[in-house]
Amino acid sequence: MSSLQSTEAVGGAVRRFKVLVAKMGLDGHDRGAKVVARALRDAGFEVIYTGLRQTPEQVALAAVQEDVDVIGVSILNGAHIHLMKRLMTKLKDLGADDIPVVLGGTIPVPDLEPLYRLGIREIFLPGTSLAEIIEKVRKLAEEKRSREEAVTGVGGC
């Protein structure tokens, strides 16, 4: 796939990967979320940013309404376990737990394992290169689209 990471052509148009970038709770650190959102846009993704201080319920519903391919959460205030538990539960309730979820921010190493066990697919610690983030997010989006294809016969369509 080209660096324009889009996906299959549909009716002559290109269906680009769609990513939700979200901030939850009282955490006001938005620099990382914005840097990642811009990098994904520049790599050709359609990015929807929720803005600060969202509840996990709002994030899950935004993901469902927009039918995104990947959800990316940014947390730098230490509340990751609590917030991610609620988000994953809500996604399940909505029947949207097939959407891969990734997390970025200041996550202490001992917390990585419990977070992966919640079903989070990738965790990006401070200092991760944007190239690595783009690559891994793209891979998850591609996997999700091909799963849809396998189930339905057409790539998400």
Partner 1 sequence: MEAASIEALLERAEKGNLRALGRLLTLIEHPTPHAIQILERLAKRAGRAQVIGFTGIPGAGKSTLASRVIGALRRRGYRVAVVAIDPSSPFSGGSIMGDRLRMQEHASDPGVFIRSIPTRGVKGGLSTAALAMIEVFDAMGYDKIIVETVGVGQSEVDIINAAHTIIVVTMPGAGDDVQALKAGVMEIGDIYVVNKSDKAEANKTAAYLQFALEREDIGRRESGWKPRLVKTSAVLGMGIDSLVDVIEEHWNFLRESGWSGRKVEARRILMAKMMAESMLSAKVMEAHMESLGYLEEVARTGEGIFRAAEELARRAARKMLE
Q: What DSSP line would sit under 52-93, residue for residue?
A: SSB-HHHHHHHHHHHT-SEEEEEE-SS-HHHHHHHHHHHHHH
Residue whose C-alpha is closest to residue 87's, from 109, 62, 108: 62
DSSP state of 109: G
**Is residue 78 near partner 1 by the rule CB under 8 A?**
no
In the complex, minimum distance from the CB of residue 11 to ligand B12, in angstroms, rounded to a whole number: 30
In angstroms, the CA 137 to CA 17 distance is: 10
For the chain, report the end-to-end CA distance as a whole number of angstroms.
Answer: 19
Using CB under 8 A as the binding rule, the residues of this chain from 113 to 152 that contact partner 1 are 151-152
Choosing among ligand B12, partner 1, none, which partner's interface includes residue 156 (Cβ < 5 to 8 Å by kind)?
partner 1
Of 14 and 131, nearer to ligand B12 (C-beta) is 131
Q: How many CA atoms does the CB half-sphere of 97 hold within 13 Å?
A: 14
Select from 136, 29, 122, 38 the least CA-distant residue to 74: 29
Binding mask of the shown chain, residues 35 to 54, with x at each position contacting ligand B12 by CB under 6 A? xx------------------
The yes or no reply on residue 89 touching ligand B12 (CB under 6 A) is no
Q: Residue 27, interface with ligand B12 (CB under 6 A)?
A: yes
Residue 40 sits in the site that holds partner 1 (CB under 8 A): yes
Nearer to ligand B12, 10 or 119 (CB): 119
Smallest separation, CB 95 to partner 1 (Å): 4
Q: Which member of 29, 30, 85, 94 binds partner 1 (CB under 8 A)?
A: 94
Question: 17, 21, 138, 144: which one contacts ligand B12 (CB under 6 A)?
Answer: 21
